[in-house]
Structure 1
Amino acid sequence: MTVIPDKSGSDSGRTAIPSALKQAFSSLSEHISGFQLRDKQLEFAGACNDTLTHSSTLLIEAGTGIGKTLGYLIPLIAYARRNQVRVAISTETRNLQHQILQKDLPLALKALGLTSEEFRAEVCMGASNYLCIRRMHRLGKEIPPDRAEEFEKLLTFHSENSIAMRTEAPVSPQLWSRVGRDPEDCLGRKCMYYDHSPYFLARERWRQAHLLIMNHSLLAAHMESKGQLLPEFHAIVVDEAHGVAETINRSRVMRMGPAELDLLARSGLIQNPELLQAVDAIKKELQHVFRLEPGYRVRIRKGLKLSLLSGFMEACRHTLSMVDERMEQEEDLFSGDEDKMQSENMLELQFQKNRLNDAIQFFDSISLDEGENHVRWAEGNKAGIDLFAGPVQSGPFIRERLIQSMDATILCSATLKTGPDFNFIRQGLGLEPERNGARTESRKSHDDGSNEKSVGPRASNASDVPGGNLNEEAPYYPELEDAFSTDFDGLARSDVNGNHEAPGHPSDQDASGTKQESAATVPAVQELSLPSPFDYPNQAILYLPASIPDPAQNEQIYNERCAAEIQHMLGLTGGGCFVLFTSRKSLKQIHDLLRNYLEESDFPVISQLDMDAGRAIREFRKDPSSVLFGLASFWQGVDVSGDDLRSVILCRIPFQVPDDPLVEARIESEKQQGRTPFMTIQLPHAILRLKQGAGRLIRGERDRGIIAILDPRIRTRRYGKTILDSLPPARPVSSRRELESAYAELWESAGTADT
């Protein structure tokens, strides 16, 4: 088996590669036609293996083409089997989850000599994705005639699928919203359908799994539940990690709007007319105070003073006392504690009590001025005014609930660095060096009976181990116990003050050999960046047209010039193009300017204004001359390999919307700490998104085409060089003549290679 050296020229061999790891990857040639093992894939896998072996944290940027999914799966599976623990993978997109489960995991298991029965994996999804049988039958009693046929399809679907899920159900989102599982309307074990519940059947499969695969939103919910939502796992790989901090932070933002207020007043066993009137009144006052059109928002810096708020709060408290009184009455009807807690009435009363307490707490908080690391705002929608409140950033929360709760954490993506370092990602994850100093604590082993985190994998209770017991007599892989382990630690490690130490430095340990960790709780973090093995100068052209004006000076002329450049590129490539925008408004304006040309040229046009992302990508793949006008969801996680995608046009640098209250609050926080927020927040975020967008084009060694950036600021502003230095090293051109010549050369060289 030959190892193919990479063309990047960077130093490989920084990490010792255990022999069993090399053997596992070498065996992939038996299962993948034409497989060639690359130095960089081995280095990636070695770094992951080293992190798992030494119970540490790794930030690793792996350019497209490294083969990172197999690169982390093989050592992760070996770690789980060696230590008899459950592990997890979190992703941003559903596409990657399916790729892992259906394509990469079977290959990784073959490489390790395992079967899918010996190592089981499950995709975990949020509760609302699963059918609730009780809600379905309840709806069946009141289904309108015009929905009867659709409802019959649902019944048939359920009869054929024990774990019926939204993604597969042949029904509309409107119908599913009335039959999907709602945690606020779930009776748990008391439900007569519990033994057949798709959600609880799925949870049992999660418990039996060795590997849990989830998205970042479900991971955030698991963290919010303090690790109670999913079965316990001991190590995690966070793939597509460039967006995980933002996903977790936004999941912690609470909303209180017309829908939540109506649920508060109109649902539950206790109906209080006083609360119903108070809710209607407070909704009207909020509309009068804010006067916001749908989509517009305003920050709430000072305590919200509403004349009718005291009456609303009093109605909530009165209803709460009524609920408590009814719960006491219910208790008298049951003889045992189990019966009490499992009664349908008691459960519904508890849900109603939770909603009332949440509302009281929310309005108590929003009546005060904004606190540190807290932001609130109001936003208009068609039904009225939504109020939002949440943290400005969640770094310490992520550090405590995720990274420090794991034996090992690997965070990887094709785009983590925003220039020469990982500082932006580290800040979002709470891994930034503390400014106020830090004391140290030992990380003790569980052998002494303490509750502190051990250096090695935590022992599992037999009842929680997948399948009840993972200890098997037959070896699952000949060399896993020894050859997957190595004492060599060759990655750069940073301490809490940002100082770098050599591998195995004595300061990592106390006198007893126990690893030390900062109690300001910034753990030691390893960093590694591996460039893509693709030959970008000969596969891709970076087109930066010089004739487009700054959109801030004249947006109409900017749009017209953009439309002209897009028209020229479509004529050059014959379609096969993603045209990506940062706003619906911009998409509509430029699409309208191109409408006549597109109709006359007979290009199949797909617009995200007309359909969701899933359908849009399916339509795009039907015709190689398709043109897709896309928004945020197409800047990442979309994979179209081969010649079907021949150009990606990015109309603007994707800076965050400055009036986003979360962004505004973060900018203020950076200024208060003496930093320059444009350089520490806004530009790094834009670079990550631009790298993701540009990365849609080259997904394989035979891919080729044009990456066009139509925002002139990348040429005219000082920060433009920082952005360009972060992008793949494609061949730069700035005129149509150069573009045409370079594009012709791409296809000529490709034709020569094919022959």
Structure 2
Amino acid sequence: MVPETTATTTPVAQVLAQAVSGLGGQQRDGQVQMATEVAEAMEEGRHLLVQAGTGTGKSLGYLVPAMLHDKRVVVATATLALQHQLVERDLPRLVEAVKDVPGIDTSYAVLKGRSNYACLHRIRAGVPDDQGMLVDVPMGSMAEKVLELRAWAEEETEQGGSGERDNAPRHTDREWRQVSVNHRECLGGTKCPFGAECFAELAREKAHRSHLIVTNHSLLAIDAIEDVPMIPDYDTVVIDEAHELTARVTQAATDELGANDVERAARRSMRWTADAESDPAGDLEDAAGQLAEAFEATGPGRIDQVSQQLSDALVVVRDSARAVLSAYPRESPGEGEADAGRTQAKGMVQEVFVNAERMAADSDRDVLWLGEARDRFPARLHVAPLQVWGPMRDKLLTDKTVIFTSATLMLGGDFGTVATTLGLKPTERIGHEIATTDAEDALPWKGIDVGSPFDYGQQSILYVARHLPQPGRDGLGQAQLDEICDLVDSLDGRTLGLFSSRRAAETAAEAVRAKLPHLTTLAQGDAQLPELAKQFVEDPHTCLFGTLSLWQGLDVPGDTCQLVIIDRIPFPRPDDPLMSARAKAADAEGRNGFMEVSATHAALLLAQGAGRLIRTTTDRGIVAVLDPRLETARYGRFLKASLPPMWSTTDPALVRQALARLGQARST
């Protein structure tokens, strides 16, 4: 039954009430506030930041106003898990709940990068070898899996499926590459003999017919910032998991180049450029050797000053790649089907050229670094943007209305820090109200915190082990290991350990196994993450220790997890080339590089890690931070203000008693 509404209730609140009722849920004040504010922002064309705590129901809080908006809306997520939840659960149920509402457009589509779809040409014609000839997948350990993927793709075609990687049988990255192509390798819908059936082309056609498009941060960045049209024209974008946006945009705008890339592109091009007067492919192959020598002379790490040898090598690669591209025979008008071998080989050279050109430019807007060679993987040169807030401001925020939402947007108790990283200026607003400024480049925005249904002060404790020594560079010391074992023992399991490195996680796991052999202690790497999470949930006397993917990607409500241990404040590594360059640039401009880069990075991760604890209104537990700097350092106040409002203590005895009570309550 739809709740009664008053004459002053907004249309979005009425539809939200019908949706919640249809889904069998309960109305939440924060969700209603969010939906109302999102609808107003869309109507007024004003940017909005919405912090919505876990349990608020923020998906409906933006999906309902998005469907009611009179123009196309894009929803961009950071993780495949949320994208899958929206498309497979939230949207179908919402469409069913509001299907009788007049005037609402419930059409939606999913749009991903081309390599996320199976390629029928590659499946039916074969994979190019190093000479560009199309051959079948060689027999071997992966042949059976590739055949399974091919059969699945053909079945998807027959049944009208999407051909998306997420729906495919379990596989590795290497296996998927045998049945997919990237945008440079694609023949194009008009030239491919299977263009009419192409999964990627069909997905784009559906997107053009839809009111709501669900995509990811990376594709949004390529479309809006890299000026590569990927998404049909839209009016508004909702960016969920917005705390991840800067990192995802950076990732999308990061390129890399290895000497082996250059060499392979040259060899693949030889049969297509053999008629050229010179030997451009041979010259490109020689350039690969010159680049490898420059790498050896450079050494790994950030490159603040490009050496003459490296600069010369990049210029030679760039110019040689340009010559190879010019030597490719032009396709005759009306030639018909494209040659896959030529298209894909030329795409490889094009990628080498573009990356070498960017790196050779040595722009002060980019950061350049050489990765370390490991085992069978040779060194690779990387380039990333020094900052992304400028391009986001210029190419996304000035053209579209953007709604940013996440459970973690207020760092240090305010929206200003995150707003700055996204391309919005704190001076463009006053408190939670829109700033009254006459500046021509002003982008007015509003920030709201709609709260959470959880009572963190009653449900959780933040324990900072102030008595422990400050973490050192050598990893966990004996004092930290003893503390971990004591905390785990007090609760008798049900512990999620979030560590700054794989080595720290493994060291802690070994210590707990030795001292508490009656418990099951799992470490990341012992098995695939879904398998580890399943075992963690099923056995209450279990500990799970791991690194970054557990900080953000694990959702285990209930008594499964009642203690979250964080070994140290997760500052970026001092030798991280991009983070260190950004901090250095901020200092050079008179700002505080440590607070702007390192502390902000740590605050986001701490908030995400602490957020693993309370997932429902009945959860209880403790977040234990073993780094005393959270209490003693000046920046500790900023970090603590970024966390959920838990009751805080530094008393080890009190915490052990609280854990023991939680353990006893679980066993009764």
Deviation at 1:662, TM superposition (A): 1.6
Deviation at 1:711, TM superposition (A): 1.0
Task: Provide the residue aligned with 2:386 in structure 1.
Answer: 392
Q: 1:681 to 1:154 in 2, by over 3 A?
A: closer
Q: Which moved more, 1:208-217 or 1:162-171?
A: 162-171
Deviation at 1:734, TM superposition (A): 3.1
Task: Provide the residue aligned with 1:623 in structure 2.
Answer: 539
Which amino acid in structure 1 is aligned with residue 120 of structure 2? I
* Contact kept in structure 1, 2:417 and 2:600, CA below 8 Å: yes
Which amino acid in structure 2 is aligned with residue 357 of structure 1? F
Aligned length: 640
* Contact kept in structure 1, 2:321 and 2:353, CA below 8 Å: no
Q: How does 1:719-730 map to 2 (within 5 A)?
A: 719-730=635-646
Match of 2:397 among 367, 389, 403: 403
Deviation at 1:539, TM superposition (A): 1.2
Task: Provide the residue aligned with 2:173 in structure 1.
Answer: 173
* Contact kept in structure 1, 2:35 and 2:61, CA below 8 Å: yes
Identity of aligned residues (%): 29
Matched, 1:362 2:377: no
CA distance in 2, matches of 1:90, 1:654: 26
* Contact kept in structure 1, 2:149 and 2:179, CA below 8 Å: no
Q: Partner of 1:362: helix, strand, or coil?
A: helix
Matched, 1:88 2:81: no
Match of 1:700 among 596, 601, 616: 616
Match of 1:42 among 11, 32, 36: 32
Task: Provide the residue aligned with 2:563 in structure 1.
Answer: 647
Q: Partner of 2:153: helix, strand, or coil?
A: helix
Which amino acid in structure 1 is aligned with residue 291 of structure 2? I
Deviation at 1:159, TM superposition (A): 2.6
State TM-score, norm by structure 2. 0.87
Q: 1:345 to 1:247 in 2, by over 3 A?
A: closer
CA distance in 2, matches of 1:120, 1:577: 43
Gaps of 5+ in 1: 4-15, 292-296, 434-493, 509-516
Match of 2:68 among 70, 78, 103: 78
Matched, 1:560 2:478: yes
Deviation at 1:58, TM superposition (A): 0.4
Task: Provide the residue aligned with 1:60 in structure 2.
Answer: 50
Which amino acid in structure 2 is aligned with residue 195 of structure 1? A
Query: Cα RMSD over matched residues?
Result: 3.2
* Contact kept in structure 1, 2:370 and 2:381, CA below 8 Å: yes
Task: Provide the residue aligned with 2:518 in structure 1.
Answer: 601
Deviation at 1:363, TM superposition (A): 4.7
* Contact kept in structure 2, 1:655 and 1:683, CA below 8 Å: yes
* Contact kept in structure 2, 1:44 and 1:72, CA below 8 Å: yes
CA distance in 1, matches of 2:283, 2:566: 54
Matched, 1:108 2:94: yes
Which amino acid in structure 1 is aligned with residue 56 of structure 2? I
Q: Partner of 2:48: helix, strand, or coil?
A: strand
CA distance in 2, matches of 1:539, 1:649: 17
CA distance in 1, matches of 2:620, 2:153: 45
* Contact kept in structure 1, 2:265 and 2:349, CA below 8 Å: no
Q: Partner of 2:617: helix, strand, or coil?
A: coil
* Contact kept in structure 2, 1:560 and 1:593, CA below 8 Å: no
Which amino acid in structure 2 is aligned with residue 264 of structure 1? A
Which amino acid in structure 1 is aligned with residue 360 of structure 2? D
State TM-score, norm by structure 1. 0.78
Task: Provide the residue aligned with 2:326 in structure 1.
Answer: 324
Per-residue deviation, residues 625-670 of structure 1 (Å, max 9, x unmatched): 3322121122124321122222211111111122212212221222
Matched, 1:381 2:373: yes
Which amino acid in structure 1 is aligned with residue 107 of structure 2? R
* Contact kept in structure 2, 1:560 and 1:590, CA below 8 Å: no
Task: Provide the residue aligned with 2:496 in structure 1.
Answer: 578
* Contact kept in structure 2, 1:620 and 1:626, CA below 8 Å: yes
Task: Provide the residue aligned with 2:185 in structure 1.
Answer: 185
Q: 1:323 to 1:731 in 2, by over 3 A?
A: closer
Q: Partner of 2:496: helix, strand, or coil?
A: strand
Q: 1:160 to 1:62 in 2, by over 3 A?
A: same
Per-residue deviation, residues 516-562 of structure 1 (Å, max 9, x unmatched): x844x33111111233231122211222234321113x856x53222
Task: Provide the residue aligned with 1:428 in structure 2.
Answer: 421
Q: How does 1:489-528 map to 2 (within 5 A)?
A: 495=428, 498-499=429-430, 518-519=439-440, 521-528=441-448
Q: 1:21 to 1:278 in 2, by over 3 A?
A: closer
CA distance in 1, matches of 2:352, 2:258: 14
Q: How does 1:44-443 map to 2 (within 5 A)?
A: 44-79=34-69, 83=70, 85-114=71-100, 119-137=106-124, 138-139=126-127, 141-162=136-157, 163-167=162-166, 168-188=168-188, 189-226=190-227, 228-268=229-269, 269-270=272-273, 272-287=281-296, 289-291=297-299, 297-306=300-309, 310=312, 313-314=315-316, 317=319, 320-321=322-323, 323-327=325-329, 330-331=330-331, 334=332, 336=333, 338-339=334-335, 342=338, 347-348=343-344, 351=347, 354-355=350-351, 357-366=353-362, 371-382=363-374, 383-406=377-400, 408-432=401-425
Which amino acid in structure 1 is aligned with residue 22 of structure 2? H
Q: 1:739 to 1:303 in 2, by over 3 A?
A: closer
Deviation at 1:344, TM superposition (A): 5.2
Which amino acid in structure 2 is aligned with residue 410 of structure 1? I
Matched, 1:27 2:18: yes
Q: Partner of 2:308: helix, strand, or coil?
A: coil
Q: Partner of 2:381: helix, strand, or coil?
A: strand
Q: How does 1:701-740 map to 2 (within 5 A)?
A: 701-740=617-656
Task: Provide the residue aligned with 1:514 in structure 2.
Answer: none
Which amino acid in structure 2 is aligned with residue 54 of structure 1? E
Per-residue deviation, residues 208-250 of structure 1 (Å, max 9, x unmatched): 3322112212222222442611222221111111120122123
Q: 1:363 to 1:393 in 2, by over 3 A?
A: closer
Q: Which moved more, 1:683-692 or 1:313-322?
A: 313-322
* Contact kept in structure 1, 2:315 and 2:357, CA below 8 Å: no
* Contact kept in structure 2, 1:379 and 1:386, CA below 8 Å: yes
Which amino acid in structure 1 is aligned with residue 469 of structure 2? P
Deviation at 1:359, TM superposition (A): 4.7
Q: Partner of 1:527: helix, strand, or coil?
A: strand
CA distance in 1, matches of 2:561, 2:433: 45
Deviation at 1:322, TM superposition (A): 5.0
Task: Provide the residue aligned with 2:510 in structure 1.
Answer: 592
CA distance in 1, matches of 2:173, 2:101: 37
Match of 1:551 among 468, 471, 491: 471
CA distance in 1, matches of 2:629, 2:431: 36
Task: Provide the residue aligned with 2:277 in structure 1.
Answer: none
Deviation at 1:429, TM superposition (A): 1.3
Q: Partner of 1:267: helix, strand, or coil?
A: helix
Which amino acid in structure 2 is aligned with residue 633 of structure 1? S
Deviation at 1:352, TM superposition (A): 5.3
Q: 1:111 to 1:415 in 2, by over 3 A?
A: same
Deviation at 1:499, TM superposition (A): 4.9
Task: Provide the residue aligned with 1:465 in structure 2.
Answer: none
Per-residue deviation, residues 682-727 of structure 1 (Å, max 9, x unmatched): 2222112111110111111111112111111112222223322332
CA distance in 2, matches of 1:92, 1:349: 31
Q: 1:115 to 1:385 in 2, by over 3 A?
A: farther
* Contact kept in structure 1, 2:495 and 2:564, CA below 8 Å: yes
CA distance in 2, matches of 1:682, 1:750: 39
Q: Partner of 2:89: helix, strand, or coil?
A: helix
Deviation at 1:63, TM superposition (A): 2.1
* Contact kept in structure 1, 2:295 and 2:370, CA below 8 Å: no
Deviation at 1:414, TM superposition (A): 1.0
Q: 1:17 to 1:414 in 2, by over 3 A?
A: farther
Q: Partner of 2:405: helix, strand, or coil?
A: strand
CA distance in 2, matches of 1:394, 1:571: 45
Deviation at 1:146, TM superposition (A): 4.0
